[in-house]
Structure 1
Amino acid sequence: MAQRPPLLRRVAAALPGLALLLIFPAWPGNGAPSCGVDTPCRIATGEYRIRVPEGWNERTPLGAIVFLHGWRGSARTELRNPAWTQLANQLNVAVVLPEGKDGTWSYPGAPDALRDDFAFFEDLVSDLTRRFPIRREHLMAAGFSIGGSMVWNLACHRGELFSGYAPVAGAFWEPVPESCPSPVPDLYHVHGTEDRTVPLTGRPIGERWHQSTVADSLAVWQRKAGLPVVFPKTAPAQGLGCQRQETGDAVLEVCLHAGGHSLRAAWIARAWRALVHDLQQDRQNDTQDAP
């Protein structure tokens, strides 16, 4: 059975970006310009914006959710949504909004190849670790629609960058990878059974591109983890119906709802709480296994 290494070894081996963010308007002494909601944090390959919880004392470390917008979205538009302010305050986390190139994301099988988005997210996390004080825990990548598909690809190809992944209504595009080079992640996926934009069964986009069946995307990780290749068949009339599989160090969870192509902040909050809980369990297991 494929498993991730215990949490402490994963953190030690990760790139500097695996982090719990402590975000200041400007960190004294490093010469970094102020950035946040109104002013983007600019890096060589793009930019991102940050919202912190109201009343934060600028000293206490914060967890962070990096959220990837959907097609033709933008970080600036997303931050106008009061749901992100509520989420930051409710969870006491920073919300980081990366800016897609021309409103989209580039990954294997995507319709656009506008920039190397794997390099962009490496740069983004590297910039965070340089620009702001960092604790090496609790950094989650989440995304909606094509942003969710980018999240699946980050988990596959750059799994060391984040502690967990929470895609909504987006999965791999064809060709689905035969295997992923990254360890099996903590992944919390949400999808609507009536989604017609990104159907559970996939769909062609023109003559050249094809969204994959979500079950085929999940099967990549299930096979790597040695788990049964199964997928939930129905959703409850209200709320989420979830299938959860564990490897010992990683969690694969797929939750279905009876709606269409939609996003709720509550689903991101649920994934965050699950990730924090699962990482705490990892730490407890590491302590018990230590000589």
Structure 2
Amino acid sequence: MAVESQLMRMKKALISLAAAALAAGAMSPAASAQSSLNSLSSSPAMGELSSAIGKALESSPHNDTPAPAPAPSESAKEEWREISVPGFGTRSYLVQVPKNFDPQRSYDVIFGFGGMGNDVAFTKSYMNLAEESDGSAIIVYPRAKVGHNGQLAWEGPKYASTRRGEDVAMVKAITTELKRDYRIHSVYGTGLSNGGGMALSVACQEPTLFDAIAVVASANYQPIFENCHGAVDTLFIHGTRDATAPYGGPAIGSNGHGGRYLSAQAAFRTVGERNGCIDVNHPRQGFGAGYDPYIFDGCAGYTELDRVNDGEHTWFPFNPSATERVLDFFREH
């Protein structure tokens, strides 16, 4: 693609991506203490653009009131569906099927979970999963329930109205329905902030449901990591200047509205332990474009943290592009 076209796409994405930083589930900044993973400490790098994007807008969709719908995807056919979740009532989700859909071939399924307060239309506008997956995947955007704070929220933090296992049961029911209707190869999950926590919840409670997850600026509330079993390939993408869901600082912090949470480094280590990695205190550093990847070795489930130096709380538009990085990870796993 020509450089000019790339710049146009970047500019078009700025507004929706900026709002993602402001709409994501909030957590209090952690105190300035050292993490036990000193090898992952931040270093100076590009970050001013992420900071500017994060402050560009003042509001975003906050509840389940319908917002003006964005233009229909040119890459997929969209359909709203309702599904009965055993023991939990009826839920709904948007499914995007490639316009060149071939019933004789198999497709991957990718679940996209928005941050706290992000409705489906808004989440779709910054993730752009259908547009960037080149017709190789069926995209699913489930609808969250309104939490105790009046915002759409996924299970895990105290502000969520869904109890443990309720949203995970919805994902399981949707997956079962899609496997009935389509030829499915692999199933993946990604999310921003509270939505990243939702993908982690699925990996914890139903490790055979997702083949891999990739979470961006994840809100790592402690219940997400309790009573887990099984290994799932996992990628964290997190900015070192994230003042909403801390990258480092104390391994465990807390705030009044969400409860106790893990820093990104602590969550990375916790998942590494569950994934059977050999040494979760000394990750191997790799090479990335716009980020520094840290990888645990000898794991039953691949485990990586992409450190975005000076990155803030957002679905990164570039350096790295969160969408491109997530999709590349899923193609590899």
Q: Fold match, TM over 0.5?
A: yes
1:142 partner SS:
strand
SS at match of 1:172: coil
CA positional deviation for 1:106: 1.2
1:61 aligned to which of 106, 112, 120: 106
1:264 pairs with 2:316:
yes
Deviations 1:64-105 (A, max 9, x none): 21111111112233334583342133x632221111112210
Q: Which residue of 2 aligns with 1:228?
A: 279
CA distance in 1, matches of 2:106, 2:287: 38
Q: Helix, strand or coil: the match of 1:138?
A: strand
Q: Deviations over 1:109-162 (max 9, x none)?
A: 4422335112111211122123x1223x32111011000011111111111111
Mapped contact 1:37–1:49 kept (Cα < 8 A): no
Partner of 2:193: 145
Q: Match of 1:239?
A: 290
Q: Is the 8 A contact 1:143 1:166 kept in 2?
A: yes
What is the deviation of 1:236?
9.7
Matched, 1:199 2:199: no
Distance in 2 of aligned mates of 1:72 and 1:261: 15
Identify the match of residue 83 of structure 2 among 25, 35, 43: 43
CA distance 1:151–1:127, change in 2 (3 Å) = same
1:239 to 1:226, Cα distance in 2 relative to 1, 3 A:
closer
Indicate the SS of the match to 1:228: coil
Gaps of 5+ in 2: 1-75, 85-89, 147-151
Which residue does the alignment assign to 1:129?
Answer: 179
Distance 2:216 2:126 in 1: 17
Counterpart mapping for 1:1-291 below 5 A: 39-44=79-84, 45-81=90-126, 83-89=128-134, 92-102=136-146, 103-107=152-156, 109-114=157-162, 116-130=166-180, 132-135=181-184, 137-174=185-222, 177=225, 180-181=228-229, 183-201=230-248, 203-206=253-256, 209-224=259-274, 225-230=276-281, 239-247=290-298, 249-258=300-309, 259-264=311-316, 266-278=321-333
Paired positions, count: 238
Shift of 1:277: 2.7
In 1, distance between residues paired with 2:269 and 2:159? 23
In structure 2, relative to structure 1, the CA distance for the partners of 1:124 and 1:216 (3 Å cut) is: same
Q: 1:92 to 1:238 in 2, by over 3 A?
A: closer
C-alpha contact (below 8 Å) 2:79/2:96 kept by paired residues: no
